[in-house]
């Protein structure tokens, strides 16, 4: 939407180190993956925080992302974290 192209939004994203990306044309699955990630982040991290205000979320985000990638079980990966899945598929390319 238009809020994503607004000058202030782009400046804020740049200030906190984000690089805005858009999904490829004719690729709704890409947007679905992004929306699923945001939904998981809100459900499992933001909403359980005692103070889920923007300032707290921004401070906590690096730790939450590390946890999400290193510890958090993912159903699509057989309830393993991405880190576990990558390590195991390097050992056993079948991924089992």
Bridge partners of 42, per DSSP, are none
Output the pTM of the full model: 0.64
Record the tokens describing residue 41, joined without a space: 């982040």
Q: Cβ(57)–Cβ(49) under 8 Å?
A: yes
What pLDDT does residue 96 have?
59
Those residues of the chain that have pLDDT short of 70 are 1-5, 95-96
Strands (E), 8-84: none
pLDDT of residue 77: 92
User: Distance between alpha carbon 77 and the CA centroid of its chain, in Å?
Assistant: 16
Taking the C-alpha atoms of residue 71 and residue 65, their distance in angstroms, rounded to an integer, is: 10
């Amino acid at each position: 939407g238009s809020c994503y192209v607004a000058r202030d939004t782009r400046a804020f994203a740049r200030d906190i180190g984000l690089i805005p990306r858009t999904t490829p044309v004719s690729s709704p699955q890409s947007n679905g993956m992004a929306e699923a990630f945001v939904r998981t982040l809100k459900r499992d991290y933001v909403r359980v925080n005692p103070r889920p205000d923007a300032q707290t979320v921004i401070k906590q985000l690096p730790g939450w992302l590390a946890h999400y990638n290193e510890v958090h079980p993912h159903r699509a990966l057989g309830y393993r974290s991405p880190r576990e899945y990558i390590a195991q598929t390097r050992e056993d390319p079948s991924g089992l």
